[in-house]
Structures are given as C-alpha cells and as structure tokens.
Amino acid sequence: MSAASEIPGNRRLTVFVGAFGSGKTEIAIHYALLSHAAGRPTALVDLDIVNPYFRAQDHRAELEGAGVRLIGAPEGLDQFEVPALSPEIAGVIGDRHWWGVFDVGGDPIGARTLGGYSGAIAAGRYDLWVVVNPYRPDTRTPAAIETMIRRIEAEARLSATGVVANPHLGTETSADDIAAGLPVIREAAARVGLPIIFVAAIASLAGRITDRPVLPLTRRVRTPWE
C-alpha cells in the first residue's frame, strides 16, 4: 500500500473505532501516514478522550514531522480527563481540502463523542471501520463482536461500513495466532453484513498472511510500562 489507488477506501473521512486493545490507534496512525504519503492533505483527529494510555497525540512530533496535521484536545488541556474538543474538528469535517482520519474512543461509550459530529459526517462521504481483535475479552466471539458493533453504531449515530481485522497478542503474536483469529472476524463480519476492508499485521508477519489486502504495521503505540 503505497499509492492512493492502493489505499483501502476512497472516502474523504475515515473513522476508526474499536474496543480497548484492538490496535485502533496504531492503525489510525499508519493509515494517516499512508494517506499523506499518497499525496492527500491529511489530518488525524484524536477523539479518543476515554483512554489516556494509547493516544495519537503522543505521536505528534512524528506525525507533524511527516506532514500529517494532528488535531486533539486544545493546548494545555490534553492532560485532563475532560472532553476538551478542538473547534478545528468541525473544520476538517466540513473542509473538502482535508482527508480526515479519526481515532475514536475505544468502546461504545467513547463513540458518544463521535455522535456529536454525526450529522456533519453523515452529510458527506465517510467510512466507519471497526477494528476487531478477537483476543480481547469483550470481542472473543462473533456474537460479542456483533454486539459491540451495534452498540458503537447506536452511540455514534453512524453506520459502520467495514471491519478491519487485527488479531494479535501484542509482542507475542505469531502468524498462527493471526490465522486462528481471522475466522472469528470473518464470521462476525458476515453476521453484520460488512466487508473486511483489510488485515493489519506487524510488518515481519505481513508477508505470511494469505488474506488480502494487508496493512503492514511498524509498532509505535506502546504501553506505559514498556
């Protein structure tokens, strides 16, 4: 995935949602960098105000150094546990110059933040992709994944348009782990009538994944204790 024609999806606004531990923030960062590299003026909007540990804002220097505009909590408020949302967010949604990538809070409660912008987002062309890791407690079965997706849609007041498969066990992930997790995600996607947009995998394992397309990941997001 290196050219605009190779980037999954062609809608100006791409929203990533998913449960805690799904890898949503990692994928949103990679996707934003890929979008910019393809020549799209790209803004990454950090709407994850629920989880203070894995935030796109923690990667501001790399993102802005690469040319990606990062929008999050206003300066000086990003360390507080309040929904301090930047007025620039509405600008990205409404300004057709920008390709917006959204990293949204990691569960249905976090998706409520997105609901405040649902009308403006729905008025344009958007994708809402649910990142799924079947090795997390709340998304181990197709039924549980379906329930999560429906709750996120209700809270966000937007319809999901696809699923991103990201079966992983952190640094312990093997190619066999990815292969074993994919059938669960496929069944869940079939239950909700959504396509699997791509499979995400750490770069060293991406070549061993038979499902296509694959988004190779370079690990950036780390736990506070790493």
In a domain, 225, yes or no: no
pTM of the model: 0.87
In a domain, 73, yes or no: yes
In a domain, 157, yes or no: yes
Range of the domain at 46: 10-217
Q: Which residues contact 193 (CB under 8 A, 6 or more apart)?
A: none
Contact 32, 14 (CB under 8 A): no
In a domain, 191, yes or no: yes
State the total domains in the chain: 1
In a domain, 41, yes or no: yes
d(CA 223, CA 93): 30
CATH number at residue 54: 3.40.50.300
Of 27-31, 104-108, 151-155, 202-206, the one with minimum mean pLDDT is: 104-108
Amino acid at 33: L
In a domain, 159, yes or no: yes
What is the per-residue pLDDT across 38-94, written as a single tens digit (0 to 9) for each?
Answer: 999 999 998 876 555 556 566 567 787 789 999 875 544 444 444 445 688 888 999
Q: What is the pLDDT of residue 88?
A: 84
Give the burial string for 187-214 (b: 16+ CB within 10 Å, else e): ebbeebebebbbbbbbeebbeebeeeeb
In a domain, 60, yes or no: yes
